[in-house]
Amino acid sequence: MPMLPTGLQRHPKSGSYYLRRRIPTDILACYPGKKEITFSLRTKDYRTAVERHREEEARLTAEWSAKRQAQASRLARQHLQVITRIDALTPETIDAICLHAEAASLAGDEARRESGTYTLEEIEDYQSGYAEANRVLKSAVAIGDYELLRRPLEQFLQLYRYQLKASDAEMRRLSLAYGRMAIRTNDKLLSRYEGKDEPTPQLARRLDTPMLSEVTQNYLEYYKKLGKTAMLRKVSAVMPLLVDIVGDKPIGSLTQTDLEAYFEAVQTLPPRWKDICRQEKLSPRELATQGRGEMSKGTFDGTYLAVMTPFIRYCRRKWQDHGWPMTLTSEGVQYIGKRRDAEGGQRAFAPEELKRLFEGKEMAAFARDPASAHQYWLPHLGLFTGARVNELCQLNPQIDILQDARTGTWYLDITPESEGHANIDKSVKTAGSKRKLPLHPKLIELGFLDYVAAAKARGDTLLFQAFPASAGRASPKAADWFRKFLGEIDLRDETPNARIVGMHAFRSTLLNRAMVLGVVNAEAITGHVSNVTSLEKVQDGQVERDASAVVKKYRGELPVDKKLEILTRITFPEVSFIRPSKP
């Protein structure tokens, strides 16, 4: 009987051949509870067994190669790249570097042995070489020969892309530890050359760094304290998306490639991607690979890039001592999609569109039915106030609709500071959005104060309680209803940058009508920054020069009765508004 190939064995009783191979140490973790692979080749014929053995050997080799590659990639992401830059050589850091060097040397030796490329002559040369190297290393460590030990250390650091910021004393400690590690590793290699088992150590990540999810949550908590409500909503959307696309990994393992992949993936998300993910139960990372649209340049620059740049600056300051890679940057990130031109802006309603909206049979039905009062008053308030939809919806009729004690002017108190509904967090977009917004005489004429009185009597704490709060905000259901309503009455217009798709079009409508009528200072009504403090008309197309920030601060908010004078002059005489039934 010829000598059997390595790994091919024959059962002494049954005579069947089987394959038996020891699992390489570096991939033992991929086979929990096992040390070897054994299975029958289902034949008693020698030649058939040799052929099947060759095929199974090839399959096993490919399988182990794939597992090594996957493990190497995972280690590269999670372990080997943990230290991109080191600002302090602590004892834990020194241990981690030395463990990395030992694991790399022993893993390389094991891979060569398993590939069968060693020869006996090479083994004999290596035995004498490592023995001599250990003699020199032991002498160098014994006397503290820093210069001799430093050269191999620097080669290793350069090869594995370590960037150290360390004093001479710290580098001496690292060099001595590296020398002791090299002696230990050489002893293990010499033991292997004598046929003994010296396992390659698993590269445990000694430099524990916080997970990305912890850091992003910390940033969210920090940002909430800044009082930047509008930007906080963007931060709240971007941070979870970053974790989803990059993966929740130790921050020390983050690479610039991770950030580049994030920015590229974000740009491939279609409009309203959150709704798609929720409806189809997809993760943003999965959706980004499906090529179902792309983000506009304005959205990418104004939200995703605008959030990430200060986030990276914050992490450099806050987390650099905990492993944040100081080389990460958003500098140079560019939008690479095709939707570069502005296309999201909403235009003003045309007169005929206003007539269709407010004189149509649908609005007449809302006016007749007290149960539909919220659907009647939402668009009317939008038109005559130019307020944002959430500003209106979060109003608490118990305390936010007031009468000025000095002038008797009724107004909406747009503020995040008053008490609101239990299920929402009141907010305003900017500091200038906090304002007293007078009620247009047309709203009072149509009976809005009767609607408010009925809401107060019911104990409502939302102006439109029939639109329930959602996700901590008062407006999502109301905004969705109005978007759909525009489609139902054929007023929805998707023309890029001249759209009519939601409540925000009323802001454009009020400001446009003010411009047409020559009414200045309408920005004081809508909560935009205003540079004019007195009532005046446009003369020769000129308005006073912009005032400085200091002057604006001292001016304060325009009195509510003066705002009412502005608002009263903004009218829509082409529309015959329908008066609703009393509640």
The predicted pLDDT at position 369 comes to 96
554 pLDDT tier (thresholds 50, 70, 90): very low
Question: Residue type for 42, please?
Answer: R
- Yes or no: say if 57 and 39 are a contact pair by the CB < 8 Å rule: no
Q: Give the bridge partners for 499, in sequence order.
A: 346
Distances (CA, A) of 547 to 189, 531, 536, 537: 77, 6, 16, 18
pLDDT at residue 66 above 60? Answer: yes
Q: Which of 197-211, 225-239, 245-259, 429-443 has the lowest mean pLDDT?
A: 197-211
C-alpha 264: how far from its chain's center? 13
**Mean pLDDT value across residues 549-557:** 53
Angle at 392 between CA 386 and CA 396, to 5 degrees: 150
CA trace torsion 475, 481, 486, 489 (10° rounding) = -150
**Mean pLDDT value across residues 189-206:** 77
CA distance 521 to 510: 12
Distances (CA, A) of 290 to 33, 44, 273: 39, 51, 12
Tell me how crowded residue 443 is: count the other CB atoms within 10 A of its CB: 22
The predicted pLDDT at position 152 comes to 86
- Yes or no: say if 557 and 436 are a contact pair by the CB < 8 Å rule: yes
Tell me how crowded residue 492 is: count the other CB atoms within 10 A of its CB: 15
- Yes or no: say if 27 and 71 are a contact pair by the CB < 8 Å rule: yes
Token output for 30: 């991929």
Q: Which residues contact 32 (CB under 8 A, 6 or more apart)?
A: none
Q: Which residues contact 578 (CB under 8 A, 6 or more apart)?
A: 358, 359, 363, 364, 367
The predicted pLDDT at position 533 comes to 36
29 versus 319: which is more confidently predicted? 319
pLDDT digits (tens, 9 = 90+) for 272-289: 888 899 899 988 888 888
pLDDT at residue 524 above 80? Answer: yes
Token output for 418: 């008053």
pLDDT at residue 226 above 50? Answer: yes
* Full-model pTM: 0.52
Q: Which residues contact 513 (CB under 8 A, 6 or more apart)?
A: 348, 570, 571, 572
Where does CATH 1.10.443.10 sit in the chain?
A: 351-568
**Mean pLDDT value across residues 299-310:** 91
Token output for 3: 């000598």
- Yes or no: say if 202 and 232 are a contact pair by the CB < 8 Å rule: no
pLDDT digits (tens, 9 = 90+) for 455-487: 999 999 999 999 999 888 899 999 999 999 999
- Yes or no: say if 566 and 522 are a contact pair by the CB < 8 Å rule: yes
CA distance 327 to 149: 28
**Mean pLDDT value across residues 124-138:** 84
Q: Which of 54-68, 232-246, 500-514 has the lowest mean pLDDT?
A: 54-68
| Listed ranges 242-251, 260-269, 336-345; the one with the highest mean pLDDT | 260-269
The predicted pLDDT at position 399 comes to 96
The DSSP string of 220-274 is HHHHHTTT-HHHHHHHHHHHHHHHHHH-S-BGGG--HHHHHHHHHHHHTPPTTHH
Query: Looking up tokens 């604006």, which residue turns up?
Result: 552
The DSSP string of 146-204 is HHHHHHHHHHHHHHTT--B---HHHHHHHHHHHHHHHHHHHHHHHHHHTT---PPPP--
pLDDT at residue 555 above 70? Answer: no
CA distance 537 to 71: 73
Residue 359 burial class via C-beta count within 10 angstroms: exposed 0-12, middle 13-18, buried 19 and up: middle
The predicted pLDDT at position 439 comes to 97
**Mean pLDDT value across residues 140-165:** 85
77 pLDDT tier (thresholds 50, 70, 90): very low
Task: Report the percent of the chain where pLDDT is more than 90.
Answer: 42
The predicted pLDDT at position 435 comes to 92
The predicted pLDDT at position 74 comes to 52
Pick from 555, 514, 512: nearest CA to 538: 514
Angle at 299 between CA 298 and CA 305, to 5 degrees: 95
204 pLDDT tier (thresholds 50, 70, 90): very low
The predicted pLDDT at position 342 comes to 54
- Yes or no: say if 501 and 493 are a contact pair by the CB < 8 Å rule: yes
Q: Give the bridge partners for 414, in sequence order.
A: 435
CA distance 398 to 408: 18
- Yes or no: say if 118 and 192 are a contact pair by the CB < 8 Å rule: no
pLDDT at residue 79 above 70? Answer: no
Angle at 477 between CA 450 and CA 308, to 5 degrees: 125
Pick from 263, 255, 235: nearest CA to 332: 263
202 versus 228: which is more confidently predicted? 228
Element (H, E) at 140: helix 120-143
pLDDT digits (tens, 9 = 90+) for 171-184: 999 999 999 999 99
The predicted pLDDT at position 1 comes to 44
Q: Give the bridge partners for 45, in sequence order.
A: none
Integer distance in angstroms from the first to the last C-alpha of the chain? 103
CA distance 334 to 51: 56
CA distance 386 to 205: 57
347 versus 70: which is more confidently predicted? 347
Average pLDDT, the chain: 84
Fold of 351-568: hpI Integrase; Chain A (1.10.443)
pLDDT at residue 536 above 90? Answer: no
The predicted pLDDT at position 221 comes to 93
pLDDT digits (tens, 9 = 90+) for 381-418: 999 999 999 999 999 999 999 999 999 999 999 999 99
DSSP secondary structure code for residue 24 in this structure: P
CA distance 234 to 211: 21
- Yes or no: say if 414 and 528 are a contact pair by the CB < 8 Å rule: no
CA distance 223 to 229: 9
The predicted pLDDT at position 540 comes to 37
Q: Which residues contact 452 (CB under 8 A, 6 or more apart)?
A: 397, 401, 463
Sheet with 435-438, edge to edge strand ranges: 401-403, 410-414, 435-438
| Listed ranges 83-92, 496-505, 526-535; the one with the highest mean pLDDT | 496-505
